[in-house]
Amino acid sequence: MNRKVDVVATFLHVAADDAAHAEPAVFHEFVAGSIASADQALLTALLAPDDTGRTVFHAAASVGDDRAAQLLITSLQAPTLDADDVVPLLAAALGPDARTGKTLLATFAGNPAAFDALRPVIAALARSRWHDEHKHALWNALVGTQRLPRKAAAAVLELLSDAVGDLLPGSIRQTLEDWQAVTARVAEVEPPIRHPGDAQYLSDRHVDIDHVLHGSMNPEGHAVGGHASLKANSKRLRMRPGARITSHGNDTFTGFVDIKPPGAASWVEKIEPSTFFPPAWTSRRIRHEIATALRRGDAFASGEGPWDSPSDSGVRIRFYRDRNTGMVTCFPLAG
């Protein structure tokens, strides 16, 4: 028997090498056909050598022959095989074939009876000693480098864990325990109180930031707003040519401005002067300062105002609410 096994195993190795240069499908069909008609004792013996076993598995997976799959399952239950033989073979069966991408498990999954036949195989494995390298091989096949599909991996893990118990390799177990310990410590720390971002906060409070930065036209057709000296809004807001500018101690300044509504061809003079936020402030900085001032005066939940409140930098900002639209507008106060 051993002589026969050696001869067949050698033949399979040679055929596998040739298959890389010839037509793999022909070789796989031949192997699968041979499996289906093989003597079970011979097949069981052939499964023991790792390389030959992988060849047999991949051939059956590639062809998808149910008879071959069933015979492989039966052979895996042979009493002459232990975990040292079966686990690497099972891992190989779960891994995809490089040529087709198929796995033997795909054959099992498509055949409920064949998949159910895995259960006695797993039960037999449970009676064997599982080494860490066995678990590593299975984890690589299930969720590691070989990337078994999720549903297939979950089904195999369920079968294995019921019979074998802890399937985690030692290295993964230690990493998981360390991570769980860190997670537990983190959970004990009181999380900081987080505020929504400035843009979201201003939106939630109905602040008309476009009016504040660029200016707008009110229902009566008058230019209003416009309190930011930004390069980005130079086509919508400008200091009126020849107008006097008054600087203030808190870096704000006041002057007469013109506003050009979107799509308009000409500038519209604003009747009242505008007080500007400090010229070094960006639009993002302006939003932040408005948000901090409004947060300090968050009791301003109703009414039309005016409400005054200091921003983070100390510049006081005056707020109003439009009685008709509910929109909030604001501008910095000279100081």
Last residue of a domain, one of 137, 163, 188: 188
Verify that 181 and 299 share a domain, yes or no.
no
Residues 6+ apart with CB under 8 A from 311: 289, 290, 292, 293, 317
Domain span at residue 170? 3-188
Mean pLDDT in residue range 160-185:
58
Q: Report if residue 219 sits inside a domain.
A: yes
Residues 16 and 126 in one domain: yes
CA 36 to chain CA centroid, nearest Å: 44
pLDDT at site 199 = 85
Same domain, 163 and 255: no
pLDDT at 304: 80
- Looking at the fold, whether 9 and 57 belong to one and the same domain comes out as yes
Q: Within this chain, do residues 145 and 10 fall inside the same structural domain, yes or no? A: yes
Same domain, 249 and 305: yes
Tell me if 128 is assigned to some domain.
Answer: yes
pLDDT at 94 over 90: no
Kindly tell me if the per-residue pLDDT of 146 is higher than 50: no
Residue 20: the pLDDT is 46
Q: Is residue 252 part of a domain?
A: yes
| Model pLDDT, residue 276 | 95
The pLDDT confidence band at residue 7, using thresholds 50, 70 and 90, is low
In the predicted model, what is the mean pLDDT of residues 103-119?
A: 54
Q: What pLDDT does residue 19 have?
A: 46
Selected residue with higher pLDDT from 212 and 197: 212
Domain match, 23 and 168 both: yes
Position 168, amino acid = L
**Token pair belonging to 149:** 């599909």
How many other CB atoms are found less than 10 A from the CB of residue 51? 12
Domain end, chosen from 137, 157, 188, is at: 188
Amino acid sitting at position 218: N
Looking at the fold, whether 182 and 202 belong to one and the same domain comes out as no
Phi, psi of 215, rounded to the nearest 5 degrees = 90, 165
**Interval 145-171 mean pLDDT:** 58
Residue 310 lies in a domain: yes
One domain, residues 145 and 207 = no
Instruction: Please answer whether residues 103 and 93 qualify as being in contact, where contact means their C-beta atoms are separated by less than 8 angstroms.
Output: yes
What integer is the mean pLDDT of 182-202? 61
Of residues 163 and 275, the one with the higher pLDDT is: 275
Share of the chain above pLDDT 70, in %: 40
Task: For residues 172 and 269, state if they share a domain.
Answer: no
Decide if 245 is inside a domain: yes
The residue among 134, 164, 188 that closes a domain is 188
Residue 331 dihedral angles phi and psi, to the nearest 5°: -160, 155
Cα 67 to chain centroid distance, Å, stands at 41
Residue 219 phi, psi dihedral angles, 5° rounding: -60, -25
How many angstroms separate the Cα of 296 from the Cα of each of 206, 215, 308, 331? 16, 25, 10, 16
Is residue 269 over pLDDT 80? Answer: yes
Task: Report whether 52 contacts 13 (CB < 8 A).
Answer: yes
What percent of the chain is predicted at pLDDT more than 90?
23
Residues 144 and 55 in one domain: yes
- In the chain, DSSP finds a helix count (H) and a strand count (E) of 15, 11
> Given this model, what pLDDT does residue 323 score?
85
What domain count does the chain have? 2
Is 193 among the domain residues? no
In this structure, the answer to whether residues 125 and 271 fall within a common structural domain is no
The answer to the question of residue 156 being in a domain is yes
Q: Is the pLDDT of residue 140 over 90?
A: no
Q: 323 or 30: whose pLDDT is higher?
A: 323
pLDDT of residue 287: 92
